[in-house]
Amino acid sequence: MTIPRGTPQPDGVFGRRVAAALTIKGVIAPDQVIIDAAERIVRAGARNGTLRLLTSEQFDPRELHAEALREVQMLLAFLARNGAIGIRLPLCPTCRTRKVVKVRSEHGQRECFRCAQRRSYDECPQCLRMKKLTATHPDGQRVCQRCGPDGIPTFTCDDCGKIVTTVGRVDGRRVCLNCLPPRLRRCVSCGQQKKIAANMLHGPHCFACHNRILRNAAPCPGCGQKRILAFLGTDDHPCCAGCAGQPARYACRRCGSEEHNYGRLCGKCVLSDRCDDILTGPDGEFLPAMQALRDYLLAQPRPAQIIKWLRMGPSTALLRDIASSRASIGAVLDAPRPSKPLIYLRTLLLDAGALPHGTAATRQLMAWATQTITEAPAEHHQMLRTYTRWVLLRRASRDDSGDIAIGAARHVKASLRGLVTFLIWIEEQQTPLRALTQAQVEEFITLRTARRWLPQFLTWAAERDITPDLGIATLPRREPTISTSEEQLEDVIRILATDRTIALDARLASLLIAVYGLPASKVLLLRRNQLRDQDVALDLLIGDRPLALPDPIAALAKEQLDLLSEAPPDGWLFPGLRPGQPRDPQYLRRRLRPLGVTISELQNTARFRLAGAVPAKVLADTLDFSVATFENYAHLSGSTRGDYPVLRETSSR
């Protein structure tokens, strides 16, 4: 029975009838929430029509029609924002998003309020934003109010007193956006109550979900091109603007690309402008080194990170000085104690080809050594310079480019630091080097770890009559120690294979060490093209023979490859934070510390286990080791042959 129009109803009766009608239609929400929303949203003059619509057989909240009453759409939209299930709002024909449609367009179709307002907007020729063109530029162009001669009006916040351009109202007071309480709504993507950034696809999206959609362009199911899928197609599935019949709202205004969304322009175009501003000289030309750096930066897959670094990084001023020839690019290599930002810039220039690789490490090491020698007593400076130049640096091993290798540079630094400490200690003992005794050398060895570098210095100094003929007894070669049992190794492998709280790259690298006994230095230097997908298995090419990875490790390896899909095929499998450099072993040590094991313990236990299961010659050929490496472990394991199915399966290939 319908109630005559204008007849007053008791409080709550209308809301309860609405709640009963929506429950019958399959809407799942607390009754009290529906009652309160219906009493507040639906005006008195539209309540009879609302009840008739809700109780009719044609009404279906899962397929709400655009011609439905405005009050019904507003009521269901409120319930959907607050967690109600079984509601699907109508589709706006203009922006292809599901929301309340209550304004008719010039074609007679209902559209959302935002699309109706957008018709009065146009692109400002000054700021390129979609704004109402309410002002006139001095050159006669119609522009937005912000770009007009008077600028945008300012207001004083009644709470904090700041002069702002945008205000909101709270209880009649004008407040700035920082003082305005956030309006929280339910995001249809993550389901959490958050501040909403925009309505797109099936409803409101928070800032995190909104940015995730805009920053991750994907192939459109309609046209197959890589676009931002922020619209709904005819089949109600996400598609690009072109397939939805909408203007390309998120396309770059310069190049038209929808990848790397960064605002009006894409990330590539913004990065190009930033590079032109920072890396060009006074004449507008690029130096060869800066041109190489610009090409390298523009080729990177994530330009937003580089834009942020150029804007906030402390190296921007130095790059400007190098580009304008106020500073030499060699100054990046000559800093004896470089800061972390300078080390990052140095690595970036080397990877970009702006600095030569052939002498970079040697030049850095020489600058460091010159600074370190000054910390020793003054009478020993010349001796240390001679010893460093003609002994430490000449005997340091070289890499493929002819430069000092990383491990050799670390040994040179450790030796020189130790020598400076030794000479300072001798000075404190008030003993000249010519009067140095064997007892003093033995005493120093008990205080410091010096057996790696001190014998070489004493031999060199004795040959030149700088010190008496002294020596240090070398320690006998120790066999590898096994401090972790096989049961503990199995527990660590199980944790690494299943615990997703550990970083993916750390899990994969640690598993390769724990299963195959590979050294961390070799694992972290793996390239992407050393993993080969053979359909039935994933092969890892270490030496001459491919190694078939078992399922848990193969699954992690495929996940790691998917994360690096934009990297070149010969890129690092475990890329580090510095450009062109892999992860450091210290990274694995920090990740393994909560598990109570070290890299060496995993490596030694794995090699001991392998040596008892597979002949040393087979292991050496498969894992690209020398035979003597596994013969030591085979000697420890004796004649016992354990059961290790992973290696027996892979070695039979």
* CA atoms of 604 and 622, how far apart (whole Å): 17
* CA atoms of 556 and 504, how far apart (whole Å): 7
Is the pLDDT confidence value at 628 over 70?
no
Is the pLDDT confidence value at 91 over 80?
yes
Torsion 516-520-524-526 (CA) sign: negative
Assess contact for 290 and 323: CB atoms under 8 A. Answer: yes
pLDDT of residue 168: 79
In the chain, helix, strand, coil percent, each to 5? Answer: 45, 10, 45
pLDDT of residue 643: 40
Alpha helix locations (H) across 261-405?
267-279, 288-298, 303-312, 316-323, 340-352, 360-373, 381-387, 393-395
Is the pLDDT confidence value at 196 over 90?
no
* CA atoms of 181 and 381, how far apart (whole Å): 66
Q: Give the pLDDT band of residue 227 (cuts 50, 70, 90).
A: very high
Assess contact for 71 and 207: CB atoms under 8 A. Answer: no
User: What is the mean pLDDT of the segment spanning 366-382?
Assistant: 92
User: What is the mean pLDDT of the segment spanning 553-576?
Assistant: 86
pLDDT of residue 140: 84
Helix or strand holding residue 143 (H, E):
strand 142-143
Phi and psi angles of residue 237, each rounded to the nearest 5 degrees, phi first: -110, 150
Helix or strand holding residue 198 (H, E):
strand 193-200
Assess contact for 613 and 647: CB atoms under 8 A. Answer: yes
User: What is the mean pLDDT of the segment spanning 284-289?
Assistant: 88
Percent of the chain with pLDDT strictly greater than 70 = 89
* Contacts with 382 (C-beta within 8 Å, 6 or more apart), sequence order: none
**Per-residue pLDDT reduced to its tens digit, 422-441:** 999 999 988 888 898 999 98
State the CB neighbour count (10 A cutoff) for residue 580: 14
* CA atoms of 620 and 471, how far apart (whole Å): 37
**Per-residue pLDDT reduced to its tens digit, 16-51:** 999 999 988 888 888 888 888 898 888 888 888 888
Is the pLDDT confidence value at 537 over 80?
no
State the Cα torsion 44-48-54-56 to the nearest 10°. -170
* CA atoms of 382 and 460, how far apart (whole Å): 15
pLDDT of residue 635: 55
User: What is the mean pLDDT of the segment spanning 117-130?
Assistant: 79
128-132, 145-149, 360-364: least confident range:
128-132
* Contacts with 218 (C-beta within 8 Å, 6 or more apart), sequence order: 226, 227, 229
pLDDT of residue 616: 59
Residue 28's closest CA among 84, 78, 82?
A: 84
pLDDT of residue 174: 85
For strands 538-541 and 546-549, give the pairing. antiparallel
203-212, 272-281, 348-357, 612-621: least confident range:
612-621
Locate tokens 């003993």: which residue? 431
Residue 197's closest CA among 207, 183, 188?
A: 207
| DSSP states of 413-461 | HHHHHHHHHHHHHHHHTT--GGG--HHHHHHHHHHS--TTTHHHHHHHH
Q: Give the pLDDT band of residue 273 (cuts 50, 70, 90).
A: very high
The tally of CA atoms less than 13 A away on the side-chain side of residue 306 is 26
For strands 167-170 and 103-104, give the pairing. unpaired
Is the pLDDT confidence value at 383 over 60?
yes
Assess contact for 142 and 149: CB atoms under 8 A. Answer: no
* CA atoms of 425 and 232, how far apart (whole Å): 76
* Contacts with 612 (C-beta within 8 Å, 6 or more apart), sequence order: 633, 634, 637, 638, 640, 641, 642, 644
pLDDT of residue 6: 45
- The three-class DSSP label of residue 235 is coil
Is the pLDDT confidence value at 554 over 90?
no
Is the pLDDT confidence value at 8 over 80?
no
pLDDT of residue 413: 92
* CA atoms of 414 and 375, how far apart (whole Å): 15
* CA atoms of 268 and 469, how far apart (whole Å): 66
**Per-residue pLDDT reduced to its tens digit, 250-269:** 899 888 889 898 888 899 99
Q: Does 116 or 274 have the greater pLDDT score?
A: 274
Most confident of 8-12, 39-43, 200-204, 646-650: 39-43
User: What tokens appear for 291 in the block?
Assistant: 């041109």
Is the pLDDT confidence value at 625 over 70?
no
**Per-residue pLDDT reduced to its tens digit, 437-472:** 999 988 888 888 888 888 889 999 999 989 898 877
User: What tokens appear for 607 in the block?
Assistant: 């090699």
Burial class (CB in 10 A: 0-12, 13-18, 19+), 391: middle
pLDDT of residue 7: 47
pLDDT of residue 477: 60
* Contacts with 65 (C-beta within 8 Å, 6 or more apart), sequence order: 90
Is the pLDDT confidence value at 566 over 80?
no
Eight-state DSSP code of residue 484: S
Length, in residues, of the chain: 653
Mean predicted lDDT score pLDDT of the chain: 83
CA distances (Å), origin 585, targets 39, 129, 524, 589: 65, 49, 8, 6
pLDDT of residue 3: 42
Q: Give the pLDDT band of residue 399 (cuts 50, 70, 90).
A: confident
For strands 110-111 and 531-533, give the pairing. unpaired
**Per-residue pLDDT reduced to its tens digit, 575-590:** 888 888 888 888 889 9
- Sheet strands side by side (includes 531-533): 531-533, 538-541, 546-549
pLDDT of residue 629: 60
* CA atoms of 577 and 527, how far apart (whole Å): 16
- The three-class DSSP label of residue 251 is coil
Is the pLDDT confidence value at 640 over 70?
no
* CA atoms of 386 and 392, how far apart (whole Å): 9
User: What tokens appear for 639 in the block?
Assistant: 């004649």
Q: Give the pLDDT band of residue 112 (cuts 50, 70, 90).
A: confident
User: What tokens appear for 537 in the block?
Assistant: 């298995």
User: What tokens appear for 596 in the block?
Assistant: 């109570």
CA distances (Å), origin 256, targets 230, 251, 474: 16, 5, 69
Helices and strands, counts by H and E, the chain: 26, 20
333-342, 368-377, 504-513: least confident range:
333-342
pLDDT of residue 425: 92
User: What is the mean pLDDT of the segment spanning 558-574?
Assistant: 86
- The three-class DSSP label of residue 540 is strand
User: What tokens appear for 444 in the block?
Assistant: 């120093």
Q: Does 478 or 157 have the greater pLDDT score?
A: 157
pLDDT of residue 177: 81
User: What is the mean pLDDT of the segment spanning 80-108?
Assistant: 84
173-187, 252-266, 401-415, 613-627: least confident range:
613-627
- The three-class DSSP label of residue 307 is helix
* CA atoms of 522 and 407, how far apart (whole Å): 13
**Per-residue pLDDT reduced to its tens digit, 139-168:** 888 888 878 888 878 888 888 888 887 777
